[in-house]
Amino acid sequence: MATLTTPNSSSKRQPPVTGLILLGLLIGFFFLATAVPILDTFPESWNIGLRDPLNEFKRWVVVNRSEDHWLFLFIFEPFTAVLDFFIRLLEDFLVWLPWPVTILAFFFTANYFSGLRLGLLVTACLLLMGLFGLWEESMETLALMSFSVIVSLLIGIPLGIWAARNDRVDKILRPIMDTMQTMPIFVYLIPVLLFFGVARVPSAIATIIYALPPAVRLTSLGIRNVPADALEAADAFGSTDRQKLRKVQIPMAMPSILAGVNQTIMMALSIVVLAALIGSGGLGDVVLRALRRLNVGSALEGGLAIVVMAILLDRLSVAFGNIEYGSERRFQGYRLLSDRWQGAKWVQVVERVIDTVYSRFSQAQQLIEKRLPAQQQHRSYTVSVLVGLVVLLIVCLIFGIDSFPRDWNIGIDRPVDSFVEWMQINLYNINDSGIGTGPFRDFLIIQIFIPLANFLTNIVPWPVIILIFAAFAWYSGDQRLTASVILMLFFIGLTGMWPFAMDTLGQVIIAVLVCIIIGVPIGIWASRNDQVDLFIRPILDFLQTIPIFVYLVPVIMLFGSGSVAGLIASVLYSAVPVIRLTNLGIRQVDETVKESAEAFGSTRWQKLIKVEIPLALPSIMLGINQTIVMVLAMVIIAGLIGATGLGLEVIQGFANDNLGRSVEAGLAMVLLAIVIDRITQSYANKASESANISQSH
């Protein structure tokens, strides 16, 4: 039985003298900086000057691309042409396909894997895209995203299998995957823009790079977690490695692989939208153009279309993972309505009508099944659907039904613009009381953002900031991490991006603190109250499903552009992991440990503070780590709406055709993200070790 014990004294601890030395260094540098200017602000003369060589390299690329240099003539241009052909082929097909055929194809797919409810949800999502007048743009986004996801999976799943079966490959791939996941999205756009120009191909390549890691990681994880006894049984039956992989490991790892497919789809959707910056078109371009004009209504329409597409793809990919063949009833229950309404006459009428429709389809399916070879009869549903879709396609072509009817547009842009105008007037400063969005924004800017940025940039000497990060790394118990943290932060200064990095760091600190202050209590509350958990779960699902870009639309409505809007969008986007993992961590605390605490007379508060939170700390720290990474991603994107710091530097580098500036800012962002990510991961691992010791027998 687990007992309540303190961590073993043999666990790694830094000697107190080390802490005193670090504290002395911090105090010494702080006062020394007043006398030595070079220690006050990072010297500009130390700038290694990456910008000019990068801009010169860009000019070389542009000149040689136009002069048909062999590198472009025989490698990049043929590769671009092939990718562009397949992307345009898929896009043209989806745009050409009559909208009823597309909707019914999605309906039958969803119905097959999960039943009528998902089929109707998918249909409603597609109809909303058309009713917003964004059918063609939605199909363009769907085509680009589908192509990118297919290529990501074709690369990622084999790599994941290879990594699972070869430890050396796993060690090589792991830091590469870590860097790809830590690196802000904008950084992917810079090299592909340089070598592949603008439009669809660079957008697809950036999407593939960004969406690849989940497919690799979760495939490898799933195969590594296949039980050893299953592999031993396969060996006992004389299976070869290939047979064991195909018939045992992949089938048993399929839930994990399909979870990777789901994550790949969601990550691809998020960057496909941002790829509008380099001319990918589609829904991202709708939102981007509307944001630039501060046309909130049009931006909201595009954002909602992205949301419903995200919901559609998320639910479909989850259904693929569950493999529930909803078209074949395996239980006696309602197809559409809840079983709780059993007995109501109108419910029975509705379900009877639905059953009649299904029985008619089943009769048609049986007719087709009789005409199929015996070995193909299990495909009768698929063949029936294909026959029906072909017939519908012919009918649509005969009657000229192609694009979604424009007369059906329920555009919400004008009402939303009017509502936004009303809010900007009436909520900016309510009755001149000093309460409203305007005073709140001014308070955050004047009292928090500017003082914190000034404190980090001009008051705290740069060696002190480096030493503070080094101290955190040192106390995590990893000396190599300490050295790498010092080198990476010093390199940020050498790029000339130190002031902008400190501005970004200030925004990250504020956003993460707000996420923790909000998220940890909500997570604790949800862990102790099942009704609260059930209530917030769909809200968290919705917040996780929405692509990053869409968060910017509602906050601009209330707070205008700038750092405050970026902060609020960051909190909305990034608070989800800390809420989820706090809830999960406390729920997973061993019941025997809780019973032991109660036996010693602990109150609920004492049990929470002294038992549950310490033992759930690894999960909570992991949630904080994920929150920090998501805040860093969002802070960069907030540069689109004028938030200061590295994000704005990247955006302005794009806008001013200054590759060097964008790369410097992007590189600084990557290094800052890696430093914070590695330190928080190290503390999460340390907390996990402590929790394991405290629950030892």
Higher pLDDT, 242 or 104: 104
Beta carbons of 694 and 614 less than 8 angstroms apart: yes
* Alpha carbon distance 655, 50 (integer Å): 19
The whole-number pLDDT of residue 4 equals 44
Where is mean pLDDT largest: 84-98, 362-376, 592-606? 84-98
What is the DSSP code (8-state) at residue 329?
A: -
Share of the chain above pLDDT 90, in %: 15
The identity of residue 442, as a single letter, is D
Q: Which of 70-74, 528-532, 542-546 bottoms out in mean pLDDT, i.e. has the lowest?
A: 542-546
Does 66-325 match 507-697 in CATH topology?
yes
Where is mean pLDDT largest: 7-11, 100-104, 543-547? 100-104
Q: pLDDT by residue (tens digit) across 130-166?
A: 999 999 999 999 999 899 999 999 999 999 999 998 8
What class, spelled out in words, does domain 66-325 have in CATH?
mainly alpha
Closest CA to 274 of 561, 654, 574: 654
User: Would you place residue 390 in the very low, low, confident or very high pLDDT band (cuts 50, 70, 90)?
Assistant: very high
Higher pLDDT, 483 or 35: 483
* Angle subtended at Cα 331 by Cα 329 and Cα 335, rounded to the nearest 5 degrees: 60
Q: pLDDT by residue (tens digit) across 213-238?
A: 888 988 888 888 888 888 888 888 88
Three-state helix/strand/coil letters over 576-632: HHHHHHHHHHHHCCCHHHHHHHHHCCCCHHHHHHHHHHHHHHHHHHHHHHHHHHHHH
The whole-number pLDDT of residue 325 equals 42
Beta carbons of 641 and 552 less than 8 angstroms apart: yes
For residue 11, is pLDDT > 60? Answer: no
The whole-number pLDDT of residue 247 equals 86
One CATH from 3.30.830.10, 1.10.3720.10, 3.50.50.60, 1.10.760.10 for 507-697 = 1.10.3720.10
The whole-number pLDDT of residue 37 equals 67
User: For the chain, which residues make up each domain, given as ranges?
Assistant: 66-325, 362-409, 507-697
Share of the chain above pLDDT 70, in %: 88
User: Would you place residue 326 in the very low, low, confident or very high pLDDT band (cuts 50, 70, 90)?
Assistant: very low
The whole-number pLDDT of residue 9 equals 40
User: Would you place residue 464 in the very low, low, confident or very high pLDDT band (cuts 50, 70, 90)?
Assistant: confident
User: Would you place residue 12 in the very low, low, confident or very high pLDDT band (cuts 50, 70, 90)?
Assistant: very low
Closest CA to 583 of 623, 543, 535, 610: 623
Q: pLDDT by residue (tens digit) across 626-652?
A: 888 788 777 767 777 777 888 888 878
Three-state helix/strand/coil letters over 254-313: HHHHHHHHHHHHHHHHHHHHHHHHHCCCHHHHHHHHHHHCCCHHHHHHHHHHHHHHHHHH
Mean pLDDT in residue range 246-258: 86
User: Would you place residue 5 in the very low, low, confident or very high pLDDT band (cuts 50, 70, 90)?
Assistant: very low
Beta carbons of 649 and 662 less than 8 angstroms apart: yes
For residue 8, is pLDDT > 70? Answer: no
